[in-house]
Amino acid sequence: MKNSTETYRIIISGGGTGGHIYPAIAIAKAWNENYPESEVLFVGAENKMEMQKVPEAGYPIEGLPIAGLQRRFTLENLSFPFKVLDSLQKARKLIKNFNPHLVVGVGGYASGPVLFAAQAKGIPTLIQEQNSYAGLTNKLLAKKAAAICVAYPGMERYFPAGKIHYTGNPVRKDILTLEGKKEKGLEHFGLDPTKPVILSIGGSLGARTINEALLQSMAGFEANGYQVLWQTGTYYYDNVVKKVRDSGLMHIFPKEFIKEMDLAYAAADMVISRSGALSVSELSLVGKPVIFVPSPNVAEDHQTKNAMAFVSQDAALLLKDSEAIQNLEPMVHSLLQNPEKQRALSQSIKQLSKPNAAMEIVHVMETLVQ
């Protein structure tokens, strides 16, 4: 429903990781497409990446002093209750001054205090849950939320069924259009068009196990005529570059961070990836064969649950983190030698994609502000 003359004030709160921030920005952009006169204010956590990424996308952001509890005893944990109270007070003030028509929470530390303050004032709130497992904060906030947008079926295990909207996760727009980009992608990354391309992505910081498994497998990959486009992440880049250089391999291409993800996806014949919510949603739209290596270092092992939602539909392969170093090479080789399997995985994962997620969330938001 396009109605550009209406002006609404919307708060979008949360962040902490790209998996929360990119969907939040996609929702804001989709809302502004329908309502260009609206004011959208973001609220994030001080010193987290949203404080940089949101202004880069052209939106104002306010920071709260909120932080998470460390799993082991630290001095930071002693200040946790004070940070929560301080954040709640600041959130109440923001809600009072901005007086939003609707507050959207996308997960991450800042989401809790802002939605709690809005609900206390009777302002409608919408939760966007990206994972197949709901975190504690969202489960608590769901009781008073007006709507909950989810990316996976079966979320009535965690939320009231009547409030759930199965919309999928919003992703960056450039990933929706990969048609005709393969040649451009191969050229951009200096890849050989005659060799299969393995794309490895472990998130912006990198995934240690995936990197170690690739170091173990790279000579075998090159010997079999494959090439690897490899996002190592910031922490591991220098070490990987040195090892690739010392090995004398010519078709292994480490990158600290890949900005042009649409070109990387277009160039790839198969993908090795962690199974964070955003990666999984992007890869379903990309429609390439995927091996998920879920991170074991996340709350409630939710990356395994995200991956299993696809593996159970024969839409992806799963490789346990503990088995990756030993089994990545044979698993990749088996997949690349089996065109039929590649085709089946591609078709199945595409069927689980939700290309219009951002607009579907906007339609739910419209029902709440009217």
User: Binding site membership for UDP-N-acetyl-alpha-D-glucosamine: which residues?
Assistant: 17-19, 131, 172, 204, 258, 277-282, 303
d(CA 64, CA 59): 16
d(CA 22, CA 42): 12
- The answer to whether 196 touches 226, Cβ cutoff 8 Å, is yes
d(CA 59, CA 31): 13
| Residue 226: closest CA among 337, 321, 318, 324 | 337
| Residue 281: closest CA among 55, 129, 105, 138 | 129
Q: In what order do the strands lie in the sheet with 227-231?
A: 252-255, 227-231, 197-201, 270-273, 290-292, 317-318
- CA 155, 141, 53, 257 dihedral sign is negative
Q: How far is CA 215 from CA 26, 208, 234, 324, in A?
A: 35, 11, 16, 11
Instruction: Classify strands 197-201 and 164-166 as parallel, antiparallel or unpaired.
Output: unpaired
| Residue 137: closest CA among 96, 101, 87 | 87
For residue 6, with 0-12 CB atoms within 10 Å meaning exposed, 13-18 middle and 19 or more buried, which class applies?
middle
d(CA 5, CA 38): 9
Q: Which amino acids are annotated as binding site, given as ranges?
A: 17-19, 131, 172, 204, 258, 277-282, 303
